[in-house]
Amino acid sequence: MNSSSIHTTSASAITARKAPIHMATKTIQSKLGKYVKILDGMDDPMDRYTWLMEFGKKSASVPERFKLPEFEVPGCQSQTWLVPHFTYEDTIYFMADSAALISKGMVCMLADVFSNSTRSDIATFELKELDGLNLDNLLTPGRRNGVYSMLKVIQGYGSRKD
């Protein structure tokens, strides 16, 4: 596995409160496609698993002051947090963290995929669109359930009307 293939999200991009709506952004599907391509480029399932853990290790951590029960993702095997940042332009950025590297890799990947998306794009995302990640071959059933819980939390933020 090539360490240069590991992509991280900068903390400044995630914690931004305002982002111009005309900013060149990628859609949820294109960002998800980037990760599908990275993982598909690895023949050995262990390389994919290792990449995900390395991605988690290299991703920014959520500051302790945000590791609150209201940001914790229920249904994960390890403590996992998703912290939303709503902008005035109706987009959402996410910070993510987990106590386990594999979970952190997944939640940080999802945070990157959905960050800088509109609430409506997030709310209308369909679970089947994650199929390209081949989670059945990558994660245990318990970890897959955690990923679905992460998505449910993200979509809940996208559905909020406040």
Average pLDDT over residues 112-135: 90
pLDDT band of residue 92 (cuts 50, 70, 90) is very high
CA distance 92 to 10: 15
In a domain, 155, yes or no: yes
Is the predicted pLDDT of residue 137 greater than 90, yes or no? no
CB-CB neighbours of 155 under 10 Å: 17
The pLDDT assigned to 162 comes to 67
Instruction: Give me the sheet containing 117-118, strands edge to edge.
Output: 80-86, 91-98, 117-118
Pairing of strands 117-118, 91-98: antiparallel
In a domain, 1, yes or no: no
**Residue range 14-32: mean pLDDT, rounded:** 55
Q: What is the pTM of this model?
A: 0.82
Please, how many CA atoms are within 13 Å of residue 39, restricted to the half-sphere of its CB? 27
Judge whether 101 and 55 are in contact, CB under 8 Å. no
CA-to-CA distance for 130 and 151, rounded, in angstroms?
10
Q: Which residue has the higher pLDDT, 133 or 95?
A: 95
CATH of the domain at 114: 3.90.1010.10
Checking if the pLDDT of 119 tops 60, the result is: yes
- Determine contact, residues 92/85, Cβ cutoff 8 Å: yes
Q: With respect to residue 82, please indicate whether it lies within any of the assigned structural domains.
A: yes
Total domains in the fold of the chain: 1
Residue 122 maps to a domain: yes
Any domain includes 16? no
- pLDDT category of residue 142 using cuts at 50, 70 and 90: confident
Instruction: Tell whether 53 is covered by a domain.
Output: yes
- Report yes or no on 101 lying in a domain: yes
| Domain encompassing residue 113 | 25-159
Residue 49 in domain: yes
Provide the phi-psi class of 95: left if phi over 0, else alpha when psi is between -120 and 50, else beta: beta
